Amino acid sequence: MRRIKKRVLLESQKLLSKVNFLNIGKLTIKEAADALQNKEISVIELTEKFFDRIDNIDDKINAYVSICRKQALADAAEAQALINEGGGGIMTGIPMAVKDNICTETIETTCASKMLGNFKPPYTATAIEKLRNDGAVLLGKANLDEFAMGSSTENSYIKNTRNPWDVNRVPGGSSGGSAAAVASGQALFALGSDTGGSIRQPAAFCGIVGLKPTYGTVSRYGLVAFASSLDQIGPLTKTVEDSAIVLNSISGKDPKDATSIDSGIADYTEGIKRGVKGMKIGIPRQYLSGEIAVGVRNKIEAAIDSYEKMGAVCEETSLDLADYAIAAYYIISSAEASSNLARYDGVKYGFRSSNYKNLLDLYKNTRSEGFGAEVKRRIMLGTYVLSSGYYDAYYKKALQIRTLIKNEFDGLFKKYNCILGPTTPTTAYKIGEKTDNPLEMYLGDVFTVSVNIAGIPAISIPCGNDESGLPVGMQLIGSAFSEKTLFQAAYAYEREHPFAIAPEVQA
């Protein structure tokens, strides 16, 4: 082992001169993998470069809540050894960030909550295990809204993450740390989790690509549950192709997750470059009307024109139930959350209040002191809608509407290959701008939540910037297991409109 490391070190010194021309802010997984395989750079050098960048700029962005330098360098050495032997694949040596609600053995997994401030799981999430088996290198854990509840990462107990495009603005959420890390060049890609838009919305706000896979495609084992029937892990990347590459690594049936599925798709990058000629794209009129910012609407309309020029058939359609999705979503997700978060009681792990005389005190004080305001509000809402007398009026009703929403999507996918619209009604807002009104914050999820309710996949890709220079996100929605179609459509657009990098953060 030591010998391998020494050899690696020597080789990396030889390669040092070549490194400098790599702009890691712009670097993609694809490019990095090529450079690593061609020995233009070593894994250790690449990893060090990312740590240097984190050291230099993350105090301005606050993307990470913890860094695992030692483990990362050890993993990097191993990855390099593999490459030197002529082995490894596209993921070998690729540095990543992981949202801190995905469990990593012996590394703190906090969910950005006081409740789990010191929790070190004795196991690793399946998605991370798969990536590490493929050779990816974990740089650190990324910030989020506490227990993934929020849309701005302002609900983190640890710190506020800032948007690399404007540090006075939110990065979106709840995977805000993951999105900011990728957009600011502090990781080649990141994993996030998406319960109602938590990957796609921060991807849109930060000008990167975010995918919410079909429910069941990626194992949830090791993802700290928020709303079990809606949660999915997915990649945040700079490009569409990178998104497909990461999905290749993390997808698949997992015996540890009964709801995981074998999608039967061996390679998500296959056929990605086929173009959109003849593709039928539906645009629900509800997605371009109402409370949507002009800057966002303009960019989406321009994207529609662009698709037509590329040969797609774009057609206005209707998603009548879009209006009801938010209410149904907040009922279902809060109900499940109230149950999923009941285990944080100060007995087995995490925070325990020091103020108690008996068991009831211990429970109540631990939970009141350990959870933040938004988490408590969701627990209260969820407990209420499940409590006797209200179950039928709220919870059951929401599940019935879930059926109707799914049926409506099924109907649309008989006519269209995919559905297009904005990811969010506005671009990134100022930190503190919406914290006083939870309902207003919830309404920002209007375009994303119905996808989780129906269990279908959706991707958000950058589609230009608004008048203030902030990125606009375009969302493409497909039927269950149609990720390849989404990648194909998204790639076609990206080829015409290459992604832009956030302006350099002043160190």
Which residue number, 108 or 433, has a Cβ lying nearer to other proteins?
Answer: 108
Say if residues 489 and 276 touch (Cβ distance below 8 Å): yes
Task: For residue 401, state whether it binds other proteins (rule: CB under 8 A).
Answer: yes
Q: Are 279 and 418 in contact (CB under 8 A)?
A: yes
- Catalytic residue from among 178, 198, 334, 482: 198
Q: What are residue 11's phi and psi, to 5 degrees?
A: -65, -35
- Residue 151 vs 488, nearer CB to other proteins: 151
403 binds other proteins (CB under 8 A): yes
| Distance of closest approach, residue 156 Cβ to other proteins, in angstroms | 17
Minimum CB separation of residue 200 from other proteins in Å reads 18
Q: Which helix (H) or strand (E) holds 97?
A: strand 95-99
Q: Which of 30, 49, 99, 141 is catalytic?
A: 99
Q: Which of 205, 330, 447, 491 binds other proteins (CB under 8 A)?
A: 330
Is 66 labeled as catalytic in the residue annotation?
Answer: no
Using CA atoms, how far residue 383 sits from 270, 275, 334, 335, in Å, is 45, 48, 8, 6
Q: Which is nearer to other proteins, 169 or 367 (CB)?
A: 367
The nearest distance, CB 320 to other proteins, in angstroms, is: 10
Distance of CA 175 to the CA centre of its chain: 5
**What residues from 186 to 215 belong to the interface with other proteins (CB under 8 A)?**
215
Give me the catalytic one of 152, 174, 175, 450. 174
Peptide bond into 174 cis (omega under 30): yes
Supply the minimum distance, in Å, between the C-beta of residue 29 and other proteins. Answer: 26
375: three-class secondary structure by DSSP:
helix
Q: Are 84 and 78 in contact (CB under 8 A)?
A: no
Give the number of other CB atoms < 10 A from CB of residue 112. Answer: 33
Is 219 annotated as catalytic? no
User: Which 238-267 residues touch other proteins, going by CB under 8 A?
Assistant: 255-259, 261
Among 39, 159, 364, 497, binds other proteins (CB under 8 A): 364
Q: Which of 2, 70, 348, 414 binds other proteins (CB under 8 A)?
A: 348
Cβ pair 217, 259 in contact under 8 A:
no
Considering the complex, state which of residue 338 and residue 424 has its C-beta at the smaller distance from other proteins.
Answer: 338
Site for other proteins in 118-137 (CB under 8 A): 118-123, 125
Q: Which of 442, 487, 491, 499 binds other proteins (CB under 8 A)?
A: 442
Please give the torsion angle defined by the CA atoms of residues 150, 433, 383 and 363, in that order, rounded to the nearest 10 degrees: 80
Closest separation in Å from C-beta 133 to other proteins? 18
To the nearest whole angstrom, how small is the minimum distance from the Cβ of residue 28 to other proteins?
A: 30
Total of residues contacting other proteins (CB under 8 A): 94
Side-chain half-sphere exposure of 428, counting CA atoms within 13 A: 35
Provide the mask over 302-321, with x wherever binding to other proteins is found by CB under 8 A and - wherever it is not.
Answer: -------------------x
Could you say whether residue 477 binds other proteins (CB under 8 A)?
no
Q: How many residues does the chain have?
A: 507
- Selected range binding other proteins among 35-43, 78-86, 167-175, 435-443, rule: CB under 8 A: 435-443
Of 48-56, 177-185, 275-283, 400-408, the segment contacting other proteins by CB under 8 A is 400-408
Two structure tokens written together for 32: 């990095």
The one among 68, 245, 328, 474 contacting other proteins by CB under 8 A: 328
Which DSSP string do the residues of 242-303 spell out, in sequence order?
HHHHHHHHHBS--TT-TT------S-TTTTTTS--TT-EEEEEGGGSSSS--HHHHHHHHHH
Q: Which is nearer to other proteins, 80 or 219 (CB)?
A: 219
Strand order in the sheet with 64-67: 64-67, 137-142, 95-99, 189-194, 232-237, 209-212, 458-465, 471-477, 418-422, 280-284, 313-317
Subset of residues 85 to 124 that bind other proteins, contact rule: CB under 8 A = 101-103, 109, 111, 116, 118-123
Q: Shortest approach of other proteins to residue 121 CB, angstroms?
A: 6
Quote the least distance from Cβ 289 to other proteins, whole Å: 17
Residues 387, 432, 468, 504: which binds other proteins (CB under 8 A)?
387
Q: How many CB atoms within 10 Å of residue 121?
A: 18
Structure tokens at 249: 């690594």
Apex 150 CA angle, 505 and 290, nearest 5? 95
CA distance 340 to 428: 30
Q: What would the x/- binding string for other proteins be over residues 448 to 467, using CB under 8 A?
A: ------xx------------
Active site residue 198: yes
Alpha-helical (H) ranges within 387-482 are: 397-415, 438-443, 449-454
The least distance separating other proteins from the CB of residue 327, rounded to whole angstroms, comes to 4
How near is the Cβ of 216 to other proteins at its closest, in Å? 5
Residues 6+ apart with CB under 8 A from 282: 314, 315, 316, 317, 412, 415, 416, 418, 419, 420
Which DSSP helix (H) or strand (E) runs through 211? strand 209-212
Q: Which is nearer to other proteins, 10 or 359 (CB)?
A: 359
- Toward other proteins, which CB reaches closer, 257 or 270? 257
Residue 194's identity, in one-letter code, is: D
Residues with catalytic annotation?
A: 99, 174, 198
